[in-house]
Each structure stands twice: as C-alpha cells, then as structure tokens.
Structure 1
Amino acid sequence: MSSPILVTGAAGFIGFHVAKRLLDDGHQVVGVDSFTPYYDIALKEARFAGLTPRNGFCAERLDLADPQATRDLFGRHRFERVIHLAAQPGVRFVDPTPYVTSNMVAFTNMLEACRYGEIKHLVYASSSSVYGANRKLPFSEHDSTDHPVSLYAATKKANEMMAHSYAHLFGLPATGLRFFTVYGPWGRPDMAVYKFTREIAEGRPIEVANAGKVWRDFTYVDDIVEGIVRLVHKEPAADPAWDATHPDPATSAAPHRVYNIGNDRPEELNRLIAIIEEAVGRKAQRIDKPLPPGDVLETRADVTDLRRDVGFAPTTSLEEGVRRFVEWYRGYHG
C-alpha cells in the first residue's frame, strides 16, 4: 500500500479541497489542523467533518508550531510526500505573533521533519503577496521579490528562502506555490467573494477599496487544486547547468522550484461586485474606502512555467466560479 500524503491545514479552505481531491483519486491522506480562531471555527469543523468519515482519511489535531508534536506526527506515519498549506493568512496587519508562530516556527518544524523523514517532495503554499511593490505585470517567478508590503508577504518570502536553503543543504526536493486570490465553495469569510456575497445577501453595505478600481487575478479553488495534485508527484531535480553568477528566483542548482498558480486574467473589483449582485439578485450598498495598507492595486500571474512543466493553467471564468460559490453559500447558510 502506498504511503499516505500529509496535508496540513486540512480544515482550511484550500487544504480541505486538496484532501478531498486526493481521496477522490484513491490516495490515503493524513489531514492536520490546529483550528486557530482566525475566522469562524465552525466553518473549519464543518470542512473537517466532511473528510473524517471517508475511507483513507486520518485526522490529526495538533499545532505544528510544537516541534515535539510535529516529530511525533512523522513518527506515527511514513510520509513520502507532504503538502504544507497550514499558515496564518491575511495581509491586514494586526498582531505579528500568529504570523511568526504559524508561518515561521511551524514551517521550520516542517522542514526539519521532512529533512529527517527523508521526504521525497515537499509542496508548500507561498503567495502572490510576495511580489509586493513590484510594478512589472504580469508577475513572473523570474522577477525579484525583495520588497514585500505586508508582514504576511514577508513570512511567505522567508518560507521560499528557507525551503531553498534546505533543498541546497540537505537535498530536500521542495516546490513553492504562489497562489493568486483563491475563491470558491467553503472559502474564507474574510475574502472578497465570500464577504461581498454575505453582505449583499443580508442587505448590508460593502466597503469598496479605491472606488473598485482594483484588479485581482481571481483563481477558482478547483484550478488551484489541479495544479497542486499535478505538482506533488513531480519533484524538482537539481540543475547542474544553473549559473550561480546570474541567480534566478525561480530556478536553482538545488532541487527547489517556485510556480505561480493564477488565472492570468485580472478582473476589476467593480466587475466582481456586479457578478455577485446578479447571482444574489440584489444590488450592493457601497461605502468607498481607500486602499488599505499592505494591499496592492493589481495582481496578475504569469503561468508560463506552470503550463510548460505540468501542462495545465487555470481556466475557470469568474462568472462560473462565482455562480458555483453562491450556490454553495445558499446551501450552507440557508
């Protein structure tokens, strides 16, 4: 029997969908989550409840920031492949502690566990936020990412550098994935699609940044999952031809790579609102707000490398994705 795949953050939005897809594909999955209260834990419990009865799924509730708990997890299971999605999300700075604990300490523990566990491939979540103040569009993995504008982005940039160092020092194959504005059923309530749908449906005003003149590369969750499951079995190899005198952020002599996963089709926030209004059947009441600190005006993914290496790029339109989300929202919230 094949080794189980570890999915961390399995009660989270993307982690839940990844675990579900792997189970659908016949894999054994160990799903880990610590159920931090960043948003409604009831939603996390509902996601987890959809996984725990399934054959091939093993639920583990633990905090990966605890090094002993992480070592014990790897002692109980013989993993070959790890999908690390657990993190403290959000670019709106409030308290640095959860970001450091979840995104730095826990990630270090995961790297150590993968190193000593002789893992064949670590796939981990990065973020489009690492592009920060980069003004060149579309965002390419080959661009510099030295100017993050949020602490969250800084921790994700640090994760990429840490994973690269472990790949270089210990030969740990690792792939970082820069997700672009993910949305869909079972999504995060603090994200725009979920938040706007809820407030419009309930007749409450929505806060709109920069009069809606903001563009995001909205990416439907099934497209994100497809990219992940294709990449988890495609571990990067060391590249002896790499030229150390001209370092490229996306390539390396070490077995470490970084990919964008985005729709490569930015949509204006005003258009998103119009699509939600049509799907919900109610006009939005708007309150204009300035662009919050830590946010950027536009994101757009260059997915050339992803398409070349795994033969896939996201395709779900915003209209179709929002329609599916609103259907789920009505079923879940009643």
Structure 2
Amino acid sequence: MSRSATVVSPLVAALFTVLLVSCSGTVVGAPSVPGAGEPVYGQPVSEHTRAELAVAAAARDLAPCGLLDEDLVASLGQVTAFGPVGDLSTCHAELVPPRGTPANPVWVEVAVGEREPTERTGAGEATAGLEVRPAAGALPGTCTLYFSLPPVPGVQDDVAAGRWGHVSYLDGAGGTGDSAAGDDCAEARTVLGSVTDRLRSPVRIRSDIPLAQQDPCRVVENMSERGIETFAPGSRPYECLLTLRGGVEASVQLALSPEPPRAGGPDAVELDGRPFTYFRDAVSCHYYFYPGAVFDTNLPSSPVSERDKRSNRLTASVAASAPNCDDAETLVLASAEMFDY
C-alpha cells in the first residue's frame, strides 16, 4: 500500500470529524434473531450482539423519507429541499414558513435508529403506543420529540434495548412566533402523528440509495487476515464499531456527505491503485471513498441561492477510521470491496 499525506488545517479536520460522529406493533419484514451460537458474517458473536444487530437491521428497514410526509411538510410552508441527509437514517425538509424568508428557513427532520436520545429529555408520555420524550431546553421556536421504535420480533428487552427516533422542527430565525397558537411543538407533534401512523402501516418504502440497504458490519467478512475480536452496531444503525486483534478500536460508517472541497480539504490518496480521501486528526486516521452519483435534495422550484443549494447536494460516502493508519487502510480497502457501487 502507498499513501501520500499533507497537513490538513484544524478547521477542515474538525469538519470531517463531525461528519463521522453526525403502539407496540411489530416491524414488518424485520429479521428474527439468529439462534444461539450461530456466527454472523462468519464471526462468532454473543447473544447480545446478535440481538443488537437485529435491532439495528430493523431500524435500517425504516426508510426515514418513507416516514416523513412531504405533503404534510408542504402544509407548513414552501418546501425548498426534501430528502435523506447525514448518516442515511435521517430525512430532512427545508421550507420557508409563512412570514419567513429563504434566508431563514425552517428544518423539519425525522431520524430513526438512535441507540438512545442524544439530548436531555423531559418526562415521557405514551403516544399511539410509543413512548415520546421531548428534548429539554430547546431554543424558542424549535422542538425535538424523541419516540421509541416498535419492538423487534424475537428480541427480548433484557437482551438488547430498542432503538429510538426523533422528529424535529427547527426555526432558522431563532423563533419568530410562527409556531401555531404559540406552541413551539405544534408542528413537531403534527409531524410525529403522521410518523406514528406510517409506523403502524404494513407498507415499507425502501431507500433508492444502494448504500442505505447495507449493514456496515458486513465489512468483517473481508477482514479475516487482520482479525476481528468483536463487532457491533454503533450509536446509529449505519455505523459499525469493531475491535481488531490486539484490542484496537475501529469503525466503519455509511453516510451521505458533502463532496470533499477541491482545495483546502483532506488529501486525495491512492491505495492499491484506487483513489481515496484521507486525513488524520489527534486520535485516528480517517479514509473515505464516495460510491455513486451526487444526490440533490433541492426542489426545482426552490428560491434559495445557488450558494445555499450546495449544502443539499450530497454523495454516498463510506468512512473507515482507526488509530493506526495501516489498520485504517486495511479497513477502507475491505470496505471498498464490499460497498463500492
């Protein structure tokens, strides 16, 4: 393997590091937990890990843009962008609300598959059979409601905890009084009602992004030479955490990311004759590659400026990280064999 490297500014390194870390019904089509002792992806795993893999797989089966009703979002204002974003478990819409401007849009977001709420939350309440917890301390005009996902068949609560989702309504103007009846959570609760209805529906809408149909932990199939001690889903369902032989911690993440900048960004490098993007921060080496075409979530009728539209043009990305660059290289090459579309 060969690698070239140049110094990356702290700002750029920080930006790409952020990209790594951004009813009691049943989930139709969710996998059942394999029997005790059966290997997964050729590796022996514990009962707990098998259950965690099944729960994460069920979350990936819930396409977030199949849960967010675009017509409902359009009733809240002029929609300027709609589609998946981030780590593939999130769908977002940007809109210009009544009395709003394109310079201060509102974001509506639905995410599924979080291991737990990422913010401090208030008291839970039951809504359509789901536990709902509001985020505490939200800014004026904004609201995030966390909701428990339906349980997965065959997974007991005492073996693996269920996953969560959230609905957010985020006012880019910092709260301008657009929330209905002065209730900052009115819009979020309206969207959540639609989400819970769709969760109960037997119809499942799969993502048309090939990467969104994959389990990042599949990479262990190509890691026999390096050796895997353990692997398990991360905090989101499109992240896999691996312990390599010797106790080295590594990760693989599937996402939608902005294309790397032409100048001032991480290095373009070549490994075994293939192009990758690379940078190193104070903790780990990070390698990326970008399978597939750019995905543009801007609506043709969007009135926002061309500069603002750029942030909604995303491309599927695979990131491999490890403290040792040789391990990161091995991991990204194994990922490229598995996930390069």
Class of the TM-score when normalised by the shorter of the 2 chains: under 0.3
TM-score (normalizing by structure 1): 0.26
TM-score (normalizing by structure 2): 0.26
Rg (Cα) greater in structure: 2
